[in-house]
Structure 1
């Protein structure tokens, strides 16, 4: 979380079609409670960015923690994952069949899924 106001244009925005609403919905990953519906993609995105800017300024005035953009966060490249014994065994066997370490095998599988 940041003490200064981040550039909200660096936040991660998505605009998708909402069949239920019959409009486009814009969302911001850093502030998931916010969204904006509009008849066009551009209007949804621009209106949400205006809202995000207003909310972030309000958070700053009230000394609330402001999330940093995902793009400016640092990542170690490591995360821990707990799996059951059975799945662990299955993954280890598949890795051995492909002459890979378990780590290399899982990285390959995660890459295939993205």
Structure 2
């Protein structure tokens, strides 16, 4: 699995006073650097090394989020009072509960 298929992010860490490179598929890995470019380069190298180690030991590397298939469905448990309130809002707006929640998530 090429390490460049994973989901990377660089953000500022006020605690460390440096940029931190992160990878969503490897939440235990991070890389601190003075510049965003160096943080990205560092986390990509750390992930590539982790993937190589996993392959060498026969472990399966995580599937990149970008390559996963999503059904568009997921279940959420909410309190009955909130369910009732959302159902009422949907009825008042003349849309399905599913459409109302989808619009709220998109906002």
**TM-score (norm. length: structure 1):** 0.91
CA deviations over 1:1-57 (Å, ceiling 9, x no partner) = xxxxx1111110000011111100000000000000000000010011111101100
| Higher RCO (C-alpha 8 Å, min separation 6) | 1
Structure 1, unpaired ranges of 5+: 1-5
Please list every run of at least 4 consecutive aligned residues from structure 1 whose deviation after the TM superposition is greater than 6 angstroms.
Answer: none
Q: Which residue in the other structure is 1:10 paired with?
A: 5
Counterpart Cα distance in 2 of 1:45 and 1:85: 44
Q: Which residue in the other structure is 2:92 paired with?
A: 97
For 1:1-114, list aligned pairs within 5 A. Answer: 6-112=1-107
Structure 2, unpaired ranges of 5+: none
1:63 to partner: Cα distance: 1.1
1:65 to partner: Cα distance: 2.1
Q: Note the aligned Cα RMSD (angstroms).
A: 0.7
